[in-house]
Amino acid sequence: MNGPDYSYAPLLFFAGIGAAFAVFSVFAASIAGPKRYNRAKADAYECGIQPSPHAEGGGRVPIKYYLTAMLFIVFDIESVFLYPFAVSFDRMGLFALVEMVLFVVTVFIAYAYVWRRGGLEWD
Amino acid sequence: MAADSFVQAHIDYGAVAPMLIVFGTAMVGILVEAFVPRASRFWVQLPLAIAGMVVSLVVLVTISRGHEVITAGGAVVIDAPALMLQGTVLVLSIIALLAMAEPLGTRSPDAFTQSGASVPGSPAEANAVRLGATSTEIFPLTMFAVGGMMLFPSASNLLVVFIALEVLSLPLYILTGLARRRRLLSQEASMKYFLLGAFSSAFFIFGAALIYGFAGSLDFDAINKAIGTNGGMDGLLAPGVLLVAVGLLFKAGAVPFHSWTPDVYQGAPTPVSGFMAACTKVAAFGALLRIFYVAFESLRWTWQPVLAIVALLTMVIGAVLSVVQTDIKRLLAYSSITHAGFVLVGLIALNTVGISGTLFYLAAYGFSIIAAFALVALVRSGGTEATHLSQWAGLGKTNPLLAGTFSFLLLAFAGIPLTSGFVAKFAIFSAAVGHGATWLAVVGMAMSAVTAFVYVKVIVLMYFSEPAEGTAVVTPSALTGISVAVGTVLTLLLGIIPAPLFEMTQHSTLFLR
């Protein structure tokens, strides 16, 4: 290798511009922006919709959300593996088919557990 | 086209069958949880889990003769050390699971809460108990952990090591938080273990990324070859090796990554502490052995002094802090830290004596610590476990059998002759002297003396004090009985006739690469 390798220099340059822009924006907003009071500004930010009410003192969130989210992830991961398999299963033959079936079976074992233990019942 | 160059990895199913059996049993265990009525789950899950591990062990012994392969595209190596470590994990897990299952006359493992997800003392918890909720999930959880522990020392690729690390850790985080008694302490321990474990996993994976940047491969053999040829890139290699070591030393409970150990061992259900102290240590040191002896073999003169300092600190800090402990579980936790230091002394010996001594030490210590924690679980006071040392006063008079067995196990930890602890320490320290690290052996022996003082203090407390108020020993079923008996008898047998196990460990020192 002759001398230092500069092939990653644009990456560093880009990171520098990004950081500079973030710092500039924050300062520029505090100097140039108008400061008018609006009650919505004091609310919790929730993707532009009315924020859902929270109980005082760090109240509890229904655990149902968590179970649904978990189950979604299980099937999400499954589809992540199924897509590449579906695109090229003809090149991999029977072995890949058997492996995929085993993989789907393990996912369904988790599903059967959640179903039987009442994880799918909303109330 | 790139897709045409797809090469299917060959998998030697015979060689990985023991792991597949354990994972398969875990899967069946989940289905049992889903479909078998509550009342009969315990007596389905326990025989299923034990049978799974016994069958796995039988298959392991069957394939162990002349069956050394690198399989799954170089990701898994089944060689003599891997077989030895997997066998050790399985045997230790069987007796640990027997102690964990102890139902004490109910239909559910006694040490575990029936409603882990509910707030301690809440109406939801009382309702779950009234409806007869069981804690039999611990069986599949344990099986997953055991499967991960078997993969951990046989993985030959940093990513597979990472996956095995997570597979063994995640069930342990949950098991830690499921104690029936002192649930807040247990949940705190679980949270601490999870957070610190996640940090150490992050360290490991970041180290693996740096090493990939250095070597262009995650395979141990390729990394080792790259260390020999890629000069002048130590900026990637050195931090990579150190970060990977942090992740592994955390699991092994070595100083300065030990601080979780006392809290977690104290908070976890007592038999789970025994399971972690025995089996997790075997798996973690197994992985350390393979990574440092195969992947970083060319660097051995560089990492050896670093690990020597870690070993020194681990022995000294574990021993010194065990002196001031007033809780028996914390005392055993600091004792396990000291023992991790002793094992590290064997690991850095860089010769076959050191490897075989390390393997012997891990097995011998495992049997003793599982029996010790199983006994701690039996001492009760006011409906909860009596873990404060003052509550152990006079146990020698009220329950001579328990006190006698526990004293014997403590003497084994101290390394008194005629126990496995003596033989194991002798093997480790002679390996250290053999490669010129006499100073480590001297420190090790001094620290043995310090811990011996701690153990003798407990024995004196049990035999020469008036019995404490309210402390009672519950009578266990045959499950704990077998677990303690096997652990204690093997502690004695390995101290008197260590030759058979030594022969096995001496034949298990050659890493396949």
ipTM over 0.90 threshold:
no
Considering only CB atoms, A113 lies closest to which of B4, B8, B33, namely B33
Q: Does any domain span residue A4?
A: no
The total of structural domains in chain A comes to 1
Please give the Cα distance from B25 to A55 (Å, whole number).
43
Q: Does A112 touch chain B (CB under 8 A)?
A: yes
| Cβ–Cβ below 8 Å for A109 and B33 | no
Q: How many CB pairs under 8 A join A and B?
A: 30
Q: Assess if residue A43 is contained within a domain.
A: yes
User: What is the domain range of residue A29?
Assistant: 9-116
Residue B251 or A57, more confident:
B251
Cis peptide before B498 (omega within 30 of 0): no
**Residue A45, pLDDT above cutoff 70:** no
Rounded to whole angstroms, how far apart are CA atoms B505 and A120?
50
Contact between A117 and B4 using a beta-carbon 8 Å cutoff: no
Residue A123 falls within a domain, yes or no?
no
pLDDT at B162: 95
Look up residue B348 and give its two tokens.
Answer: 């850095």
The reported pLDDT for the residue numbered B468 is 84
β-bridge pairing B69-71 and B379-381: unpaired
Statement: residue A65 has pLDDT above 80: no
Domain presence at residue A3: no
Select the residue of A95, A113, A115 nearest B8 (Cβ to Cβ).
Answer: A95
Q: Which residues of A touch B33 (CB under 8 A)?
A: 113, 116-117
Contact present, B494 and B501 (Cβ < 8 Å): yes
Spatial separation of the C-alpha atoms in residues B267 and B277, rounded to whole Å: 13
Task: Give me the pLDDT at residue B2, please.
Answer: 46
Q: Which residue of B has its CA nearest to A116?
A: B34
Which stretches of chain B drop beneath a pLDDT of 50? 1-3
Distance from CA of A116 to the nearest CA of B (A): 5
Query: Quick one: tokens of A25?
Result: 């924006």
Structure tokens at B391: 């509550």
Please judge whether A88 and B34 are an interchain contact, meaning their C-beta atoms are less than 8 angstroms apart: no
Q: Which two tokens stand for residue B57?
A: 């062990």
Please give the residue of chain A at the shortest CA–CA distance from B118: A63
User: A55 in a domain, yes or no?
Assistant: yes
Q: Please tell me the distance in Å from B31's CA to the nearest CA on chain A.
A: 7
A62 pLDDT above the threshold of 80 = no
Question: For residues A84 and B329, what is the distance between their CA atoms, to the nearest angstrom?
Answer: 50
| Cα angle for residues B155, B171, B106 (degrees, 5° grid) | 135
How far is the C-alpha of B278 from the C-alpha of B290, rounded, in Å? 19
The SS3 of residue B131 is: coil
- The answer to whether A83 contacts chain B (CB < 8 Å) is no
A47 has pLDDT over 80: no
Q: What is the pTM of this model?
A: 0.88
Q: Residue with structure tokens 């992947």?
A: B295
**Residue B337 contacts residue B253 (beta carbons within 8 Å):** yes
Give the Cα separation of B231 and B210 in Å (integer). Answer: 15
B148, B164 in Cβ contact below 8 A? yes
Q: What was the pLDDT predicted at B326?
A: 92
Q: Any chain B CB within 8 A of the CB of A104? A: no
Q: Tell me the chain B residues in contact with residue A112 when contact means C-beta distances shorter than 8 Å.
A: 30-31, 34-35
Which residue type occupies A111? Answer: Y
Give dist(CA B175, CA B377) in Å, integer.
Answer: 15
* pLDDT the model gives residue B3: 46
Looking at the domain assignment, is residue A121 inside a domain?
A: no
* Structural domain contains residue A1: no
Q: Which two tokens stand for residue B505?
A: 């460990």
At B1 the pLDDT is 40
